[in-house]
Chain A
């Protein structure tokens, strides 16, 4: 790294895929052995991160020691289930498939969310589909992130309305039961087999808190959390993950209508976001980052600020529960900026 110009974000973002894969394979083997386990269960969503994680686990442990779990629900795309199942079949791993819709119905996931949608939007024609979106233009205008419900009627009419605080909390809390139910199902399958649960969260998501605590963040091992999304794509290409998975737009896949990660949370595309995050982590100035990326430093400043804000607000998601230390010698750890 020393011979790399710190401003050269492309060089810093680039990885030697083969060497990186070897490093991850050792990591998976070491953790599995260290925890005296022999197998891993991976939830397959039909997206790139879970496909790469499953492929890496198969490389590390062998196909007989990896189980793919496919957990569709009423709102997830049928294509997700198809791509996940096909990838598992290609890898030759055992697949467990279970529709979690009845569990979510019993929790009240859909009912609670739909009640919020109806309250905010008023008339909701039968068969309408919704998602949450944020405005574009973070870089260009520095607009603050505000969530809107996007409703598409069966006739193709698109209506949008800004959420209020209670509405946002209502939709997010009910929707997060999907990831948390999946976590429960993954541990069910893992504990039956004495396996670990393999996580699929990448560095971009980890840094900005784009995961659900005790949901998709509730796992035993995270083979991708040191890699930006852009780097996960490089690994995917090297591992020859199916093109249909690589080329698919990343999406939370938790709303009836399709929404991309970009429109739902990040407000910019992954290649731009990852380079900005890398520069931010390296402590580069907006001026130098802007010069390299061909963007106005003001835009970079806005993106840094947004990253800092998301990082701070989601800090607790990345940490173990705060607790009183077991040893009197330890300092009491309290949450707070910079701690």
Chain B
């Protein structure tokens, strides 16, 4: 498992324990379908990603295509130069 996915998975497990099966979340599972991405959680996840990976995420990048699953988050972060 990549370091990005590992860190994000850990973050999700610690912060959204109420989401059923979060401990075994699959790379492609939708965070929206899991009821995670509300207006507070989006801010929380952005804050986590920006601080952990030392990046700046612009408002127009805050779309499901970039944030709705572990796989999408990883691709997005790689496109921002994380881990390269």
- Give the interface of A toward B (CB within 8 A): 134-135, 137, 141-148, 162-165, 168-169, 305, 309, 312-313, 337
Contact = CB atoms under 8 A, between A and B. Distances in A.
Contacts of B2: none
Nearest to B35: A312
A309 B46 CA distance: 18
A144 B42 contact: yes
Question: Which of B39, B44, B46, B62 has the most chain A CB within a 10 Å cutoff?
Answer: B39
Contact of B63 (A141, A147, A162): A141
Given A162-B46, A313-B35, A337-B35, A143 B62 contact: yes
A146 B43 contact: yes
Interface in B49-79: 59-60, 62-65, 67
A147 B47 contact: no
6 contacts: A137-B60, A142-B64, A144-B37, A146-B46, A147-B43, A148-B59
A146 B59 CA distance: 8
B38 interface: yes
A135 B59 contact: yes
Contacts, number: 55
A174 B26 CA distance: 38
A134 B44 CA distance: 16
Contact of A143 (B39, B40, B63): B63
A305 B46 CA distance: 20
B60 A165 contact: no
A169 B38 CA distance: 13
B32 interface: yes
A244 B78 CA distance: 53
A183 B65 CA distance: 41
A147 B35 CA distance: 18
A137 B62 CA distance: 11
Contacts of A141: 60, 63
B62 A144 contact: yes
B35 A165 contact: no
Contacts of A305: 32
A148 B59 CA distance: 10
A145 B60 contact: no
Contacts of A143: 59-60, 62-63
Given A135-B59, A142-B63, A143-B59, A309 B42 contact: no
B39 A168 contact: yes
A143 B39 CA distance: 12
A168 B35 contact: no
Contacts of B47: 164-165
Nearest to B58: A162
B38 A309 contact: yes
Contacts of A169: 40
B64 A144 contact: yes
A168 B40 contact: yes
A146 B42 contact: yes
Contacts of A145: 39, 42
Contacts of B32: 305, 309
